[in-house]
Structure 1
Amino acid sequence: MKQLLTSLSLLSCLFLVQVNCRIGTRIVGGNVAKEGQFPFAALLTIETEGFVFVCGGALLNEEWVLTSGTCTNNIVNVTVSLGSTSRDENDPNRVTVVSTVVVPHPDFNPDQILNDIGLVKLSEAVEFSDYVQPIKLATINLPNILHPTVVGWGQTADDSDPATDLQYAQLNILTNEECQLIYGSQIVDNMVCLNGNNKESTCYDDSGSPLVVRPIGASSLQIVGVSSFFSGNGCEIGEPSGFTRTYPYLDWINSVLQEA
């Protein structure tokens, strides 16, 4: 049984003993997103003391992006890119905003990957368009019968370069009891584990990437989780990826958005 490591990398990357949240990868086995398909998707280029790395995120309103605690911990500044499905800085749909205000969850514990959720406040409000739109927070916990989609910029393989285009993949939910058989008791209620039918997985640079569903009767996608960790055995072997459920944190998220 794989156990959770208590050590961190200098970039606050979260580790499980064969499960780690390696920063800087893309979705393995994913598809390339079309322009405007996921207009809430954010690319976060994050600067710490001496390091630069990439995370994913989701636009919640004109000023706030939801991501992981890992991507808001000990940060100097964040460059948030919206509207583009490419890393090409010349993409005409691209909107770039710099932020110095990040809010990790007050109980974020990088050693145990607990409460791995955070918020980034944009330095100026963004204008919505066909390519830049917010996503709603789901107001129910994630049912096991759904097949969520993860959207991110991470690597597509363990040894590949970061993705140049936004990727997405549909995943299957494991019960927490099933996930605990693989990763141990560190898998708690506020986490959810998923895997793909063809070894689809999150990978490096996918930390903070949104997990989304379209609930029955809903007209649009809603966010139910943010990417937190994946197997330390590698992205391509088919072991589950881990996400922080957003539903348990609705009160905290809304309080930050309202008080700002």
Structure 2
Amino acid sequence: MAVRLSLIWLLLLGTSIDVTRGKRLDRKLLDNRIVGGQEAEDGAAPYQVSIQTTWKTHICSGVILNEQWILTAGHCALDFSIEDLRIIVGTNDRLEPGQTLFPDEALVHCLYDIPYVYNNDIALIHVNESIIFNDRTQIVELSRVQPPAGSTVTLTGWGAPESSLPTVQYLQTLNLTIIAHEECRERWDFHDGIDVGHICTFTREGEGACSGDSGGPLMWEGKLVGLVNWGRACGVGMPDMYANTVYYQDWIRRTRSGCKNRVN
């Protein structure tokens, strides 16, 4: 069963909602963590943010692009109204924010879920004030080079150890391996949800991304190459899919004046 990797299902299971305020969801059985990871060192990912509800529930991750823009998965910007979200920066401990900001605009790729579900799952979120930079809060560097198959990449996130448990308090990290695009499609029986805008990881059963990790960064040689998109719950021996940020670099740069899908 393929699933997006966020937490909205807990609150809206089986419901349909207007796309301008949320995301249509099917009944899915989800786990909720970076499976097989370990606690990250303090300050290991200063570019990472926790996207939370205003009642402090972690739902997704993202990365800092500049003083007022966050990059994340598209469904992270659609699962809740932006009025119900807050952005936490500058911390490994999601309950102890370095700074708390609030989104005032969200821009989702204009071809989100087109032509197939899970395609073009990427978004920008604008925050209401400038991010304060320090040792724990920094801009992510975007890679201009695709990581080749076999490359070791690093995933970080705040998932929970089991679907029945809450998200973890402290940031987790895990090293994974990039697999070739065609191998990824073959392992998924040529699923239409894997398109040219995805890269895939697979290392072994018992390791991988899961719900709550959506929008989180996949890093290669210290630079961003992917954002968690979707996969099978969880760590069950299938590849995970990420929005390929090398592929989407032009969209990331131009989206504020070009391809837009406003959701606020």
Shorter-chain TM-score: what band? 0.7 to 0.9
Structure 1: distance between partners of 2:132 and 2:198: 33
Structure 1: distance between partners of 2:240 and 2:199: 8
Report the equivalent of 1:253. 252
Alpha-carbon contact 2:63-2:216 (below 8 Å) kept: yes
Q: Match for 2:243: what amino acid? A: T
Q: C-alpha displacement at 1:68, in angstroms?
A: 0.2
Corresponding pairs, count? 238
RMSD: 2.9
Q: 1:53 to 1:167 in 2, by over 3 A?
A: closer
Query: Can you list the C-alpha shifts for 1:19-46, whole angstroms capped at 9, x where unaligned?
Result: x795x82211111112211100100014
Alpha-carbon contact 1:224-1:245 (below 8 Å) kept: yes
Matches within 5 A, 1:101-116: 101-109=105-113, 112-116=117-121
Q: 1:9 to 1:143 in 2, by over 3 A?
A: farther
Q: 1:55 to 1:211 in 2, by over 3 A?
A: same
Q: Match for 2:102: what amino acid? A: V
Give me the TM-score of the superposition, normalised by structure 2: 0.80
Report the equivalent of 1:85. 92
Report the equivalent of 1:204. 211
Matches within 5 A, 1:130-209: 130-185=135-190, 186=192, 187-197=194-204, 199-209=206-216
Structure 2: distance between partners of 1:157 and 1:242: 20
Unmatched runs of 5 consecutive residues or more in structure 2: 5-13, 17-21
Q: Match for 1:108: what amino acid? A: Y
Q: Match for 1:41: what amino acid? A: Q
Report the equivalent of 2:100. 96
Alpha-carbon contact 1:208-1:228 (below 8 Å) kept: yes
Which of the numbers 35, 47, 66 marks the counterpart of 1:40?
47
Percent identical: 27
Unmatched runs of 5 consecutive residues or more in structure 1: 215-220
Q: 1:174 to 1:86 in 2, by over 3 A?
A: same
The answer to whether the aligner puts 1:126 opposite 2:117 as a matched pair is: no
Q: C-alpha displacement at 1:199, in angstroms?
A: 2.2
Aligned to 1:244, what secondary structure does the other structure show? strand
Report the equivalent of 1:25. 32
Q: 1:4 to 1:184 in 2, by over 3 A?
A: farther
Query: Can you list the C-alpha shifts for 1:4-63, whole angstroms capped at 9, x where unaligned?
Result: 99xx96553777x9xx795x822111111122111001000147xxxx761010111111
Query: Can you list the C-alpha shifts for 1:193-249, whole angstroms capped at 9, x where unaligned?
Result: 2123462111111111111111xxxxxx11100000121xx3132322111101111
Q: 1:157 to 1:130 in 2, by over 3 A?
A: same
Q: Match for 1:76: what amino acid? A: I
